Chains A and B, each alone.
Chain A
Amino acid sequence: MDGVSKTYGSRSVLDGVSTVIAPGETVALIGPSGGGKSTLLRCITGLARFDAGQITVGSHRIEARGPASQYDGVRRMFGMIFQDFQLFPHFTALENVIEAPVRVRGQPAAEARERGLRLLERVGLAERANYYPRELSGGQKQRVAIARALAMEPRGLLCDEITSALDPELKAEVLDVLTDLKQEGLTLIVVTHEIHFARRAADRILLLADGRIAEEGPPETVLGSPTSDRARKFLRTVMA
C-alpha cells in the first residue's frame, strides 16, 4: 500500500496511508471511530474507490480511479466479513456458503455441497447447515459468513469489526475461528476494538487515526510504549 488517499467531498478520510503486509501475517487495525479503518478495507476490495496512491495485492495492481475490473483478482484473494454479517436471508446456511462457488466458479453442486458442509463443520456449525439466517444467533451468523468467504478459497480475509454486534460470550466463538485461520496460514487484516485479541493474535498492529497511520509495530510495542500523542490518547481511552 503506497500513499493511499481518499476524500469524501472536501473531507480527507485517508491521507497517504503506506504499509506492507506480508503473506500469512495477521494485522490488527485499531484506532478511534471515524479514523478511516473501514474505508481502508473497502478501498482494498473496491467497495470504495481511492483518489491517489496505489495498492498491490500479490501480482494485482490497483490504481487510484482505475476500472472496476481491476478488483476481480483482489476479490479472489481476499474475502470480506462485515460487522452486520450480510448473509443472504433467503438462503440456508449451506446455500449461503455454496452460492458463489457454484455460480461464480462453476463448481458442480454436489461437490460444492460437500465442501460447504466441511467448511461449516470447521466453524462448528455442521448441524446448522439447513437453518435460515434468521434461525441462527449472531455468533453463528458470523461464523457462517466466514465459511461463506472461505468457500471461495481466499488467501486472506478482511474483517471489519466482525464481533462488535455480538454479546461477549458470542465474541469468543468467532475470535477462536479467526485464531484457527491464522494457524492455517491465512493473511488476516482485522479491524477490531478487542485490544486483548489484538495483543494475543496479531503479528502487528496498525493504529489509524485521522486517516494516517499514527503508530505501527508489534503489539507489545504499540500497546506498551506508543510514541505518538495521538496513539497515547486513544490507548488511554480503550485500556481504561
Chain B
Amino acid sequence: MIGAAMILGLAGGAFAQEPPLKWGADAEGGAPYIFLDPQDPSRLIGFEVDLAAALAERIGQPIVHHQYNYDGLISGLNRGDIDLAMNGLEITPDRAKHVRFSRPYYVYTLQLVARADETRFRSVEELIEQRLSVGTLTETAASRFLERSGLEPSLYDGQAEPYQDLALGRLDAVLMDLPIAVSYARPNPRLKFIGEPFEQGFYAIALRTSDEALAKRVDAGLESLLATGDLQRIYEKWGIWNADQTLLTEPNAAAALLAGETDGFSIRNVLWSLVQASVVTIEISVCSMALAMLLGLMVAVARLYGPRPLQWLALLWVEFFRGIPVLLLLYVLYYGWPQVLESLGMSLMFAPSRMGAAILGFGLNYSAYEAEIYRAGIQAVPQGQWEAAASLGMSPQLTFRRVILPQAMRVILPPVTNDFVALFKDTSVASAIAVVELTKQYQILAKSSQRYMEIGLATTILYLVMSVPLGYLARRLEQRWGKPQ
C-alpha cells in the first residue's frame, strides 16, 4: 500500500533535523486533490499537494506523501502507518470518534451533474421526486445525502467512472463534491452542472487522537495559511475558491455542522443491508454459474467432437478466459465495451448493466474451467459405452445425451460444485464495477462505523450460511451419482 515516498515542501536546511511526517493519501484518480501529473506521470500534483508543501513550511517539518487507499486511511492512521490523512476527508460524527480532526481547510459543497441534453429535472429536488438513478462515491457526504433522501445511489470507488457512466446513459445524474465536479465534469462538453452547489461540509486533516501536540501545530499552520491568503491563492490556482470558504474563518462552524448530523448506526439496518447484499451475491453466483456450465458444455463438446477449426477455437477460448484475470474482464466488459460500441456508432442498448457485466464476466471466466472439467469427465466414460449404444442403433447425439453425459456427471459434479463455492467468494471482485455485493457492503458498513470485527463476523456467518449447504448438497449429489459400479 505504501508506495514510493516523495518529499514535498522546500527541502532545505531549515527543518532538516525533524523526522518527516508521513502523509497518507490516494493518488489514484484523485483530481484535483492529489493525482499524477498527466504531463509528467512521475510527479504528483493537486491542491492538497500544494497545501501539504505550504503547511510543511509553516510547521517546520517535512511532509512526505505515502500512497494509501482512501478506504484504509483511518485505520492506517491509527495503526501508525501514516501520521496524517489529508485526502478530501469530510468531517463526520462517525469519523470524529476515531480521529482528531484539524480545523477545516476547505468548505466543500455538493454539485449535481447531468448530461448536457437533460430536460427532465432542473434541481436535485426534481431528481429525487422522479427517483432517477444517481451515481456517487462510496461513503461520502453525497452518498449519505442521497440515502437520506430515500434514493439508492450507485456507489463507485473512483471519481472518473460515475461521470463516464453518466455520459454513456447508464446513470441519470451524478452527485459529488464540487472540486471533483470541477475537475471531471466541467471539461466534458457532454455534461452540465445542474443548479447551485449545496450541502456545505468540511474537509479536514485527520490525526491520531494521541498526537494532540502535532494536531495543535497543524491547526496553527492552517490558520496562518488562511490568514496570509496563501490558502486562497492555492484554491484559486485550482479553480475551487468560492464564497463558501469564508466559513473557514468561523472557528465553530464545523462543530455546529457536526451537531446537526446524527450517528446512523443501527444493528438492524446493518443486518438488513448485509442480507440485501447477500441476495446480490447469490444472483451473480447462480446466474454466472448457469452461464458457465452451459458455455462450458458447448466448448467441451466443440473441443472433443467438433471439426478441426472448431476444436482450435474451443482451445483458444479455454486458454483465453482461463489466462486473464476476471477483474480485467469485468472492466473491459463494463467500461471498454460501451466505448467500442460508441466508436462504431452503435446503440448503447447492447452495453451491459453492472449486474449484466458481472454475470457475463464470471460466466465467461468460469466457462473455461467448466469446459475442462466436462472434457475430462466425458473422456472418462469408456469407449465401449459408445460402441454398445451404436450397436443398439443409437445415434451419436442420443448416445451423448442419454449414456455418456449422465455417466460423466459423476466425475464432473464434485469439481463443479467446488467451483461454485469458489465463484461465490470470487463475486466480491464485482465491487470493482460498483456492484454492491456482500463483501462490498461489508466494507462500506465497516468503514463508516469502524466496527470491522462485529460486522465482519455477521458477514462471515452470511457467507457460511450460503456456502455450507452448498457443500452439503455437493456431498449428497456425489453420493447419489458416485456409487461404484
Q: Do A and B come from one complex?
A: yes
A binding-site residues for B, Cβ under 8 Å: 45-47, 72, 75-76, 79-80, 82, 84, 86-90, 99-100, 103-104, 132-134, 145, 148-149, 152
Q: How far is the CB of B405 from chain A (nearest CB, A)?
A: 10
Interchain CB contact under 8 A, B391 and A47: yes
Closest Cβ–Cβ distance, residue B404 to chain A (whole Å): 10
Shortest Cβ distance from B391 into A: residue = A80
How distant is A188 from chain B, measured CB to nearest CB, in Å? 15
**If A86-B385, A104-B398 touch, does A45 touch B391 (CB 8 Å cutoff)?**
yes
B392 touches A104 (CB 8 A): yes
B402 touches A103 (CB 8 A): yes
8 Å CB interface, B388-406 against A: 388-395, 398, 402-403, 406
User: Hey, which chain B residues are within 8 Å of A86, CB to CB?
Assistant: 382, 384-385, 387-388
- How far does the Cβ of B417 sit from chain A's closest Cβ, in whole Å? 19
Q: Sample 7 A-B pairs with CB under 8 A, ordered by A number.
A: A86-B382, A86-B387, A86-B388, A90-B407, A103-B394, A103-B402, A149-B392
> Out of A89, A99, A149, which one reaches B391, CB within 8 Å?
A149
Instruction: Considering the complex, give the chain A residue whose CB is closest to the CB of B409.
Output: A90
Assess whether B484 is interfacial by the CB under 8 Å rule.
yes
Is there an interface contact between A103 and B484, defined as CB atoms closer than 8 Å?
no
Q: Which residue of B lies closest to A99 (CB)?
A: B402
Q: Within 8 Å of chain A (Cβ to Cβ): is B485?
A: yes
**Docked complex Cα distance between A90 and B485 (Å):** 9
Say yes or no: A134 contacts B393, CB within 8 Å.
no
* A100/B393 contact (C-beta < 8 A), A82-B388, A86-B387, A88-B385 known: yes
B387 engages A134 (CB within 8 Å): no
Question: Is B148's beta carbon under 8 Å from chain A?
Answer: no
B43 at the interface (CB under 8 A from A): no
Q: Name, among A45, A72, A87, A100, the residue most crowded by chain B CB atoms within 10 Å (CB to CB).
A: A100
Q: Please, which residues of chain A bring their CB within 8 A of the CB of B268?
A: none
The answer to whether A88 touches B403 (Cβ under 8 A) is: yes
B408 to chain A, nearest CB (A): 10
Residues of B within 8 Å of A47, CB to CB, are 387, 390-391
Q: Report how far A87 CA is from B406 CA in the complex, Å.
A: 14
Contact B394 A82 (CB under 8 A): no
Instruction: Tell me if B483 is interfacial: C-beta within 8 Å of chain A.
Output: yes
A75-B393 in contact (CB<8A): yes
Cα(A47)–Cα(B406), bound, Å: 23
Q: Chain B interface secondary structure, helix, strand, loop or mixed?
A: helix
Q: Are A79 and B392 in contact (CB under 8 A)?
A: yes
Q: Report which B residues bind A (CB closer than 8 A).
A: 382, 384-385, 387-395, 398, 402-403, 406-407, 483-485
7 A-B pairs with least C-beta separation? A86-B388, A80-B391, A100-B392, A86-B384, A89-B485, A134-B485, A104-B393
Known contacts A47-B387, A86-B384, A134-B485; A72/B392 CB under 8 A: no
Tell me, rounded to whole Å, the shortest Cβ–Cβ distance linking B311 to chain A.
20
Complex Cα distance, B485 from A88, in Å, reads 10
- Specify which chain B residues have a CB less than 8 angstroms from the CB of A103 in the assembled complex: 394, 398, 402
Q: Which of B393, B398, B402, B403 counts the most chain A CB atoms within 10 A?
A: B393
Complex alpha-carbon distance, A89 and B482, angstroms: 11
Rounded to whole angstroms, the CA-CA distance of A76 and B390 in the bound complex is 11
Q: Which residues of A contact B398 (CB under 8 A)?
A: 103-104
Let me know if B393 and A90 touch, CB within 8 A: no
Given A88-B385, A104-B398, check contact A134 B483 (CB 8 Å).
Answer: yes
Give CA–CA (A132, B389) in the complex, Å: 17
Q: How long is the Cα–Cα vector from A148 to B392 in the complex, in angstroms?
A: 8
Task: Identify which of A46, A80, A104, A133 contacts B485 (C-beta below 8 A).
Answer: A133
Tell me the complex Cα distance, A66–B485, Å: 37
Taking a contact as CB atoms under 8 Å apart, the answer to whether A75 and B407 are in contact is no
- In the bound assembly, the distance between CA atoms of A79 and B387 in angstroms comes to 11
Q: What B residues does A82 contact at CB under 8 A?
A: 384, 387-388
In the assembled complex, how far is the CB of residue B380 from the closest CB belonging to chain A, in whole angstroms? 12
The distance from the CB of B483 to the nearest CB of chain A, in whole angstroms, is 7
Identify which of B384, B388, B407 gathers the most chain A CB atoms within 10 Å of its CB.
Answer: B388
Give the distance in Å from the alpha carbon of A72 to the alpha carbon of B391 in the complex: 9
Q: Which residues of A contact B406 (CB under 8 A)?
A: 90
**Complex: A87 Cα to B392 Cα, angstroms:** 12
Chain B residue numbers with a CB within 8 Å of A72 are 393
Write the chain A residue with the least CB distance to B410: A90
**Contact for A75 among B382, B384, B390, B483, CB less than 8 A:** B390
Residues of A within 8 A of B395 (CB): 104
Residue of B nearest to A73 (CB): B393
Residue in chain B with minimal CB distance to A79: B391
Q: How far is the CA of A116 from the CA of B391 in the complex (A)?
A: 18
**Alpha-carbon gap, A104 to B394, bound state (A):** 6
Residues of B within 8 Å of A46, CB to CB, are 390
**A86, B402: Cα distance in complex, Å:** 14
Asked whether, in the complex, the Cβ of B390 is within 8 Å of the Cβ of A100, the reply is no
A90 to B393, CA, bound (A): 19
A47 to B389 Cα, complex, angstroms: 11
In this complex, the member of B385, B392, B483 whose beta carbon has the largest number of chain A beta carbons within 10 angstroms is B392
- Which residues in A have their C-beta under 8 angstroms from that of B484? 134
Contact residues in A for B483 (Cβ distance below 8 Å): 132, 134
Q: A75-B390, A76-B393, A104-B394 are in contact. List 7 more A-B contacts (CB 8 A).
A: A80-B391, A86-B382, A86-B387, A104-B392, A104-B398, A134-B483, A134-B484
A220–B390 alpha-carbon span in the complex (Å): 36
Residues of B within 8 A of A88 (CB): 385, 388-389, 403, 407
| Distance to closest chain B CB from A15 (angstroms) | 24
B384 near A152 (CB under 8 angstroms)?
A: no
Min CB distance, A119 to chain B, in Å?
Answer: 13
Residues of B within 8 A of A152 (CB): 392-393
Q: In the complex, how many angstroms separate the beta carbon of B394 from the nearest chain A beta carbon?
A: 6
Q: Smallest distance from the beta carbon of B384 to chain A beta carbons, Å?
A: 4
How far, in Å, is A220 (CB) from chain B's closest CB? 33
Please indicate the chain B residues that have their CB under 8 angstroms from the CB of A76 in the complex. Answer: 393
A99 contacts across to B, CB distance below 8 A: 392, 394, 402
